[in-house]
A and B are shown apart, each in its own frame.
Chain A
């Protein structure tokens, strides 16, 4: 299933190896979706983003006019994508800054001296790093605005955190091992682990674990924390066949995940920012070739 259409109609985020020069992006390009305005572009001074919800001006009082949210990320990072999705779900406006990892901006170097990684969320000059940490911050800080990402029930919240950790430590980590494997043995092992992780996640959607009925999203009737955490990997999972020669997703073994991916990509919060699978695959191939040549 290809992701196209709306995403390709947008000013393309900066690709690999190019510096973040302002003339590559239409400055001040504004897009409207759902109840919020998303700012795509860098640099030019603009009025602070405003929140519009059905409640009208109530949220504008909660998110003060001076409230400023910035996200530093790359278009291909599953972690940065999570943060943008979370902000979109909450209906929070923000400035997205595409980083060139070969030429890191001063803002990034100042923002995350510790792990020097993306994404970084900057809220009124305050820095938050690590995607899962950022997601919980957004959910807690802006609890009064938009839907909640994490469930209200304490036990369900623990389950959500458990599966988010699982996605990172099993799916993402093993996927990377599979993608970067140097030997057949390494690749086979990582492939097995990745497929197992995917099947567990399919099982979650089927609700078979707790005798619950099938649900459209991991969060239930509406998308929530786990959906956002996993969504960062959608395009990567879809590109796995071409990148690794591994059939991660198919109608027989992972029908629910396939449905979920389609459903998720249609959501207002998602459809304008999901990366194009073709571009991602192309980028990854180039990157991998470079890494091989360096070895």
Chain B
């Protein structure tokens, strides 16, 4: 079914937001064209506030004038709207879908908070505790998510779980460089480590990555800010 004639797709985003990239990758999987609107989060546009009055955040996808907010909701919406076009983001089978959704929630609920804590805390006991918590959750991922002979968690192409983990593939190495300590080594997490490289090189991802040098500067400033205001 050819949607493209009647459709208008806009994405409101911000260049550094990993959630915005998640949506970009999803749109890329479907091969969809869209209008991208960069938001200045210190001076949000009237359009953004109109489209996301509840959270006033990016990303927001506007499909034929109707806004969808929350990156996980947007990604599933994308998969539903363009079902049968491009790659599958969620599997077909209900149980596999449930597994994908479960692991997709694991990232923001369990994994990201200690990683962020580790990054925004000065060296010491507290930071070490955060690092250990992050490592524990990474171990769970490494063990439970059996890639087997698959390239991605979605199988032979990028799927929901890959998208959810996705930004960590470039964020973690950046944090490691800034802090001067490793979180993921090939030794400790062979499966995840290999996946990270493959993800960044995957077709829907490789041309849709944030500007790395700028992002690194931004992250450095963030860490400095947190250390100063601790």
Contact = CB atoms under 8 A, between A and B. Distances in A.
Physical interaction between A and B: yes
A140 B73 contact: no
A155 B77 contact: yes
A154 B80 contact: yes
A268 interface: no
A236 to B, nearest CB: 20
Given A114-B144, A154-B80, A165 B72 contact: yes
Nearest to A165: B70
B27 to A, nearest CB: 15
A165 B69 CA distance: 11
Interface stretch (A78-86, A128-136, A176-184): A128-136
A239 to B, nearest CB: 26
A162 B73 contact: yes
Interface in B125-161: 140, 144
Nearest to A154: B80
Given A140-B97, A155-B63, A161 B73 contact: yes
A133 B105 contact: yes
A140 B94 contact: yes
B101 A130 contact: yes
Contacts of B68: 155, 158-159, 162
Interface residues of A, number: 24
B181 interface: no
B49 interface: no
Interface string A153-181: 01101110110011000000000000000
Interface string B106-134: 10001000000000000000000000000
Which among B73, B76, B81 has the highest number of chain A CB atoms within 10 Å?
B73
Q: Which of A133, A158, A165 has the most CB of B within 10 A?
A: A158
At the interface, is chain B mostly helix, strand, loop or mixed? helix
B102 A133 contact: yes
A141 interface: yes
Interface string B36-56: 000000000000000000100
A45 B81 CA distance: 45
Interface residues of B, number: 24
Given A130-B102, A158-B73, A161-B76, A137 B95 contact: yes
A44 interface: no
A132 B74 CA distance: 16
Contacts of B81: 154
B105 A130 contact: yes
Contacts of B54: 166, 200
B94 A141 contact: yes
A180 B165 CA distance: 31
Closest 8 CB pairs of A and B: A140-B94, A137-B98, A158-B77, A141-B94, A154-B80, A161-B73, A133-B101, A158-B68
Given A128-B98, A132-B101, A137-B97, 8 more contacts: A115-B106, A136-B98, A140-B94, A140-B97, A141-B94, A154-B81, A155-B68, A162-B70
22 contacts: A115-B110, A123-B95, A126-B95, A128-B95, A128-B98, A128-B102, A132-B101, A132-B105, A134-B98, A136-B97, A137-B98, A140-B94, A154-B81, A157-B77, A158-B68, A158-B73, A158-B80, A159-B68, A162-B68, A162-B69, A162-B70, A162-B73
